[in-house]
Amino acid sequence: MKTYLNALGVTCSLGAGKAAVAEALFAGDTRGLRDIDGWAPGRTLPLGEVVDPLPSMPQGMGARDTRNNRLLLLAAQEIETELRDAIARYGADRVGVVIGTSTTGIEEAAGHIATRAQTGTWPDAYRYSDQELGAPAAFLAEWLGIAGPAYGISTACTSGARALLSARRLLRLGLCDAVICGGADTLCRLATHGFHALEATDGQRCVPFSLSRRGINIGEAAALFLMTRDAAEVEFVGGGASSDAYHMSSPAPDGRGAAEAMRRALASAGIEASAIDYVNLHGTATEHNDAMESHAVAHTFARPVPCSSTKALTGHTLGAAGALEAAFCWLALTDAGRRLPPHIWDGGTDPALPPLHFTTVGDRSPAGTRHLMSNSFAFGGNNASLILADAT
């Protein structure tokens, strides 16, 4: 049974909407990361903040007002016509919602908790439900009037990717005829302080796979797909997941879990590794992640495959990253010039890593049907790999 990604709404620090994001992405525009104070103790950090105006909450939905939901709404509004058409066609009970997130409304909740610590009283605006991990999916379902399955996924940095895998499963099981799926995460001090405490953040623009890599930059984004069985320009041909459970926060150094996720994705798609034309790497610019992913990619692909990490453009958008970077593959497949996302770095090759074939601005995919892979790897050895292709 084939599944297709019929529509995409997206917003991140590169811009709001497909056209703006694609223009900045393929140009390798680095202005999406800006130095901002106040997000880590005593440090200025480059962050991928969305600066486009966010929409007001729909009438009667003030109780669900968080930045995370507003960001998700901005992405959803880009494809609202397609979403409502699908609901009208299939029925509200045959449309599902699966959203990956890791921060949801935690930033707002943290502010309210600080107020209570100072005053001893909860603010009137405090709602525990804001920080529930299913809140973004529940918000979309309520706004659109959907009665099908609606739930959240929070598996750290694979959340958005796993939302797409879950959506595909709902379609294949016949539980839904359409699924709205993706990820949304907003800047959150709990996350920025946490990564700072792990000594995993870089005070300068991150340089994935470089000898001088020092850590991540954090960003925010929302990427939302409409997935159905109806033929469209982009097919979701396969996906794989694994869990090596090597360590709570570090990946297995040999990349075995990452390689297993890629292998399962290829098997799911029914293709060989040689059919992959581009890989969007997880590429966080941390020492251990980039090392293990280099080994995993070198082990999986017998030939140099064009690849890039786009996190030097957007920052690491945490629970949204898997959906956002699948969106970048979607944009590459629908781009008239067949452009590929470039790898932006300082060119400082690390001799300890297997060499990879990084793309540059202006690189294009070959003629014919293309298969693009997107990797996401998370804490706890939670790994996911997705494959998108031209519909045939």
The residues assigned a catalytic role are 157, 282, 316
Tally of CB atoms within 10 A around 41? 10
Are the beta carbons of 100 and 153 closer than 8 angstroms? yes
Q: Which residue, among 171, 180, 189, has the nearest Cα to 223 in the 3D structure?
A: 180
Are the beta carbons of 101 and 183 closer than 8 angstroms? yes
CB-facing half-sphere around the CA of 111: CA atoms within 13 A: 12
- Distance between alpha carbon 125 and the CA centroid of its chain, in Å? 29
Q: Report in angstroms the alpha-carbon separations of 85 from 6, 61, 104, 226.
A: 12, 22, 27, 11
Residue 40 belongs to what H/E stretch?
strand 34-40
Contacts of 59 (CB under 8 A, 6+ apart): none
DSSP three-state, residue 7: strand
- Distance between alpha carbon 49 and the CA centroid of its chain, in Å? 15
Contacts of 66 (CB under 8 A, 6+ apart): 104, 105, 107, 108, 130, 135, 186
The tokens for 30 are 């680095």
Tally of CB atoms within 10 A around 139? 30
Specify which residues 98 forms β-bridges with: 151, 181
Which amino acid, 69?
N
CA quadruple 68, 72, 73, 76: dihedral, nearest 10: 180
- Distance between alpha carbon 31 and the CA centroid of its chain, in Å? 19
Sheet holding 218-219, edge to edge: 34-40, 43-48, 218-219
Give percent helix, percent strand, percent coil of the chain, each to the nearest 5. Answer: 40, 25, 40
Tally of CB atoms within 10 A around 66? 24
